Amino acid sequence: MVNQIKKSLILSGHKTSVAIEKDFWIALDKIAKNKNITIESLIQNIDQDERDGSLASAIRVFILNSL
């Protein structure tokens, strides 16, 4: 967990935090910019999709599927 970056977000009106590796944050930022939305909006969309496991895992899978 040493190389993970933790960021606080508000999703559906609730405060939460997500810890993922720096490279995933960079990829998430690029995807959000390509879609002309904020990282928070993109994570909100990922969070609203059906998922198994944690939000951090869902973000990683989303990024891999976006490649």
Query: Could you report the per-residue pLDDT of 24-42, keeping only the tens digit for each?
Result: 999 999 999 999 999 999 9
User: Is a pLDDT exceeding 80 seen at residue 44?
Assistant: yes
pTM of the entire structure?
0.88
Are 60 and 24 in contact, with CB atoms under 8 Å apart? yes
Q: Quick check: helix, strand or coil at residue 11?
A: strand
pLDDT tens string 10-21: 988 889 999 999
User: Is a pLDDT exceeding 70 seen at residue 1?
Assistant: no
Segment 38-60 mean pLDDT: 90
Determine the pLDDT at residue 37: 96
